[in-house]
Structure formats: C-alpha cells, structure tokens
Structure 1
Amino acid sequence: MDIAQALAVIDRLCSGPLPAEHARTDAGTAGPGYVIAELQTSEDFREDGARWEEVYEQYECDREALAQRLTERWGPPQVFSLYSVLERSLEGEDLPEPWASLSGHVTDVTLWRPEDMGRWISLGVSQWDRELPFQLLAVVTDLAPP
C-alpha cells in the first residue's frame, strides 16, 4: 500500500464537501453526509483460498500503518466494533448510513473525530464473503456511529 497516496485521499475527503445524494465517486461510494473510499483492493480467493489468511494479515497491517500516521495527526483513535450495529440492523432497526451497510462487511473500525473538523474518520478492512477480495476502506462522515 502507498501510505502517502492513501493519506492524500483521506485529506481530500476531509477537506471537501460531503455529498447530499448517493453517488459513485473516483474514491469509492458516497451518500448523504458520507464518503467511503476504497484505498486498496486485493485479489479474490475463488482460485486460491490458501492465501486468505496471509492477505487478511497484510490488510490489517496496512490499516495499522495508516492508523499510526493518522494518530500522529489526531491523537489516539477509538476501536469501534460494528457487531452490535449489524445485530440491531438485522433486528429491523433503522440505522444511519454509512454505519448500517458497513456493518455487513466490516467487523470493526479505527475511529477518530478531530475537534477542529467536526467529522468522523474511520479505517476498516472489508470483505463481503470469504471468496471475495479484501478492501481497505476510509470513511469520512458527519454522522456519529450509532
């Protein structure tokens, strides 16, 4: 992963306006009050499931390396589990985006809320299914986690 490039994407998302409508952007997906940037995407595991653990560990290491750089800027993060969000969503509770949809494919996020910015910034490792690719995601939103 190119940390400098990932930081540049996060900086651009933090300084720009958040969208008012759902859209696909050059960074990833967006909706009212949030952007989800796809910083890195692995290969899929349909042909080689043996590499799954290795790639998972690499994505977690990449998230940690990027988190260290963001911690230097904004201080210590929170680690926020999305399990309860998923559970509440499955029980029919209407939860805000991007948190509701993230909970279906991201276990937990590393989360900051810089006071001077008024936004939540999080990093998470996504995988929709064991055969599908991993993604390192950065989320910028003005919506607090539920």
Structure 2
Amino acid sequence: MDIAKCLALIDLLCAEEFPTAHGRTEHAESGPGYHIAALQTSGGFWEGDGTEREEAAAQYEADRDGLTELLTGRWGPPQRFSLRSVLVRTMAGEDIEEPWAELSEHVPDVHLWQAPASDRWVALGVSHGYRELPLQLLGVVTDTDPP
C-alpha cells in the first residue's frame, strides 16, 4: 500500500464537490453527499479453507490502522463505529441514508472522524464482502451524519 497516495486521495475527496446523482468518478463511487474510494483492492477469487483470505484481511486491517495513525495525528483519535446495527436496521426496512446503508452490507465497522472546519465525515473501513469478492480498504468522505 502506498500511504502517501492514500492520504492524497482522502485529501482530494475531502475537497471535491459531491455529485447530484450516483455514479463513478475518476477516483471514487460517488453520490449526493458522499464519495467512496477503494484505497487498496486484493486479488480476485479466494479458494481453499479461508486461511489465505483471513491473513489478507488481517493485513488490510493493519493497513487501515496505519492510515488511522496518520489521520489521528491530523484530527485526533477516531470514533470506532460499528455498522452491524445499521445493517440490521436496513434489513428490517428502515431507510438509512447513503453511504451508510451500502457500507453496512460489507464493512463491519469504520474508523470515523469529523474533519475540522468542515461538515464532512471521513471514514476508513475494510470491505470483507462475500468470499468470492476481493477485499478492499475503503476511504469514505460524506456530509451525511452516521445513523
């Protein structure tokens, strides 16, 4: 992982305007009030007993923690925000705003800051997705308060 590139992308997303419609930009999947960027993506399909995937997931979480340390130096310690209850609420039919509803489907928790002098939230999370999908380290910038 190139930490400098990840930080530069987070800074870019913090400065970019949000689009009026959902879509893909050069740097992220974006929509009204949010950007979600894959800072790092693993290889494709996982086979075997799951040990290799578990090891890769541990590395992605370590990479997230490394970025967290750097962002903590900027903005102070993050909130650790579980998305499990958000998923349960979404599945029960509650209307949860994006990006939180989508994230809750494949990211169990995020490290979360409210960027100073801004109404934007910045989150880092590891997308575990389904076994056949790649792991991703995600950077999220949104002006939507966490549910």
Question: 2:114 corresponds to which residue?
Answer: 113
Q: CA offsets, 1:21-59, max 9 Å, x none?
A: 101012221110100011100013433543111101100
Q: Which moved more, 1:83-92 or 1:36-45?
A: 36-45
Question: 2:29 corresponds to which residue?
Answer: 29
Matches within 5 A, 1:64-143: 64-143=65-144
Structure 2 unaligned blocks of 5 or more: none
Q: Which moved more, 1:40-49 or 1:118-127?
A: 40-49
8 Å contact kept, 1:45–1:51: no
The ranges of structure 1 where at least 4 consecutive aligned residues each deviate by more than 3 angstroms after the TM superposition are 45-50
Question: 1:53 corresponds to which residue?
Answer: 54
Aligned length: 146
Deviation (angstroms), 1:132: 1.6
Q: Percent identity, aligned pairs only?
A: 58
Amino acid at match of 1:44: G
SS in 2 for 1:106: coil
8 Å contact kept, 2:57–2:128: no
Question: 1:8 corresponds to which residue?
Answer: 8
Amino acid at match of 1:72: G
Structure 1 unaligned blocks of 5 or more: none
TM-score calculated relative to the size of structure 2: 0.95
TM-score calculated relative to the size of structure 1: 0.96
